[in-house]
Structure 1
Amino acid sequence: MGRAGMQERTFSSWQRYGVSFGVADGVGGWVDSGVDPSLFAQTLMYHAHRYSQLGWAGEPEIDPTQEYEERERVEGWELTPYKCLECAYHGVLRERLVDAGSSTACLISLNASSGVLRSANLGDSGFLIIRSSSVIYRQPPQTHFFNCPYQLTKFPPNMVPSTHFADQPNRAAQYETKLRDGDIIIAFTDGLSDNVFTPDIVTICSFVARSGGSEDAQAQMMANRIVEYARVCMRERKKMSPFSREALREGLYYRGGVRS
């Protein structure tokens, strides 16, 4: 399948002593086969949410003063973003209501006790970490070639898999780092990365942070402003966009934003 776009789905869930969240972007090329591209991505995020609620963001916390029998009764297990992605994908494969589809995916967990961020990313969705108005990490995209990202796929019974791209969860890139107080994590699909340059995202976040307010209010305002700006860039037909810049590197001409 070709480009993944216009079918974004998200999830967020509280884990034991942490939080997990993610984004998925259904591959629009399935429309030509009569398949709703959003259904695969939506179901993938549904199962990611379901599994993450049962897992810990890190090692299960056990009280060492308890008796052995009491410690053995601690429920749940450590669920890494990679394991969550793997479980969610197999959940989609078992879904009878999802006949076919493909999606990129990026899952992230934050351990509230240790401050550790872990991620699993497959395709050209991703995330970035902003610290003190600077990007300290940005997830590199995974692509087979220009405009064709890695993608999880489910094939209908009558389709020959060899004619389409299909990647397994074990191809996901994994990352781990320890966060600091005040770090900003932005998860995105190519609907953002194709239209908005990274320095513009940093500028928006810095401007909102200077305006004051609670952390929750600032986080929501940052998200709102970034989406609003992405929509403006999407409709721009004359200026250079991240997507058009990458196209030029491949010897292709494409001007302006990418419509969602």
Structure 2
Amino acid sequence: MDYEEREQIEGWEMTPFECLDLAYGGVLREKYVQAGSSTACIISLNASSGVLRSANLGDSGYSIIRSTSVIHRQRAQTHFFNCPKQLTKLPANAGRKFARACVDSPGEADTYETKLRDGDIVVAYTDGFSDNVFPSEMVTICSLVARAGGAEDQQVQNMADRMVEYARQCMKDKTRVSPFERDASRQGMYFRGGKPDDVTVIVGLIRETS
């Protein structure tokens, strides 16, 4: 009831952080979810104001492309290399078995807010994408698809499809230097080529209407 009442107040909207916090609390209370963990990236776009808000925990993330430049790229949150922060629910009576487990809360999420412009492209992705594709390559894919023309709703779908396909090609290539390989090298670790992982990409094109 509280939510329904607040929803009637003009101008009120749930922030991504509030959504993340409420959802995590719901999982902790849900008896059928015994244990698990997940990174989280929540983005809201206000159609009236053009404001983007986000809350991100872990190594999924998003980028905002304006013209041919990445004007914002969500940084990955990790405890150490290849160990992302994650919302976690441990089994009941976990005891000493999970004494060294990393348990993160919504309060550790990074939040961000900005006003978007007509033509901006927002790309949200899992780490299977960002570990294999460089930001400049992401921008190039968007530019090439846009030049091909067509309906804009189909263009953004094609951008997402091409990004997923390219990420899958890169993760199988052991001769190409990947973002993951570079990050490993900075930590003094050896890793060669792409990193096999699940890939999810969502693309949004911002348009201002009269």
Q: Which amino acid aligns with 1:192?
A: F
2:67 matched to which residue of 1?
Answer: 132
For residues 51-84 of structure 1, the C-alpha deviation after alignment (integer angstroms, 9 at most, x for no partner) is x99986xx9437xxxxxxxxxxxxxx52000000
- In structure 1, C-alpha distance between the alignment counterparts of 2:146 and 2:4, rounded to whole Å: 31
- In structure 1, C-alpha distance between the alignment counterparts of 2:156 and 2:10, rounded to whole Å: 29
Q: Which amino acid aligns with 2:20?
A: L
| 1:243 counterpart = 2:183 | no
Unaligned 5+ residue runs, structure 1? 1-51, 63-76
Q: Partner of 1:163: helix, strand, or coil?
A: coil
1:107 matched to which residue of 2?
Answer: 42
Q: Which amino acid aligns with 1:106?
A: C
Q: Which amino acid aligns with 1:154?
A: K
1:167 and 1:214, CA in 2 relative to 1: closer, same or farther beyond 3 A? same
TM-score, scaled relative to structure 2: 0.87
Deviation of the 1:130 alpha carbon: 0.2
1:99 and 1:255, CA in 2 relative to 1: closer, same or farther beyond 3 A? same
CA RMSD of aligned residues (A): 2.0
Q: Normalized per residue, which structure has more strand? A: 1
Q: 1:179 aligns with which of 110, 116, 132?
A: 116
Q: Partner of 2:144: helix, strand, or coil?
A: helix
| 1:61 counterpart = 2:15 | no
Q: 1:193 aligns with which of 113, 130, 137?
A: 130
- In structure 2, C-alpha distance between the alignment counterparts of 1:104 and 1:216, rounded to whole Å: 28
Q: 1:209 aligns with which of 129, 146, 158?
A: 146
- In structure 1, C-alpha distance between the alignment counterparts of 2:50 and 2:42, rounded to whole Å: 16
1:92 matched to which residue of 2?
Answer: 27
Q: Which amino acid aligns with 1:239?
A: R
Q: Which amino acid aligns with 2:53?
A: R
Unaligned 5+ residue runs, structure 2? 198-210
Q: Which amino acid aligns with 1:91?
A: G
- In structure 2, C-alpha distance between the alignment counterparts of 1:124 and 1:253, rounded to whole Å: 20
After TM superposition, what 4+ stretches of structure 1 lie above 4 angstroms from structure 2? Answer: 52-56
1:119 matched to which residue of 2?
Answer: 54
Conserved in 2, the CA contact under 8 Å of 1:55 and 1:79? no
Q: Which amino acid aligns with 1:157?
A: A
- In structure 2, C-alpha distance between the alignment counterparts of 1:236 and 1:54, rounded to whole Å: 53
2:165 matched to which residue of 1?
Answer: 228
In the comparison of the two structures, how many residue pairs are matched? 193
- In structure 2, C-alpha distance between the alignment counterparts of 1:153 and 1:165, rounded to whole Å: 8
For residues 182-232 of structure 1, the C-alpha deviation after alignment (integer angstroms, 9 at most, x for no partner) is 100011111101111111100000001111112211110000000000000
- In structure 2, C-alpha distance between the alignment counterparts of 1:204 and 1:54, rounded to whole Å: 44
2:103 matched to which residue of 1?
Answer: 166
Q: Identity over the aligned pairs, expressed in percent? A: 63
Instruction: Describe how 1:70-81 pairs up with structure 2 within 5 A.
Output: 77-81=12-16
Q: Which amino acid aligns with 2:148?
A: S
For residues 14-54 of structure 1, the C-alpha deviation after alignment (integer angstroms, 9 at most, x for no partner) is xxxxxxxxxxxxxxxxxxxxxxxxxxxxxxxxxxxxxx999
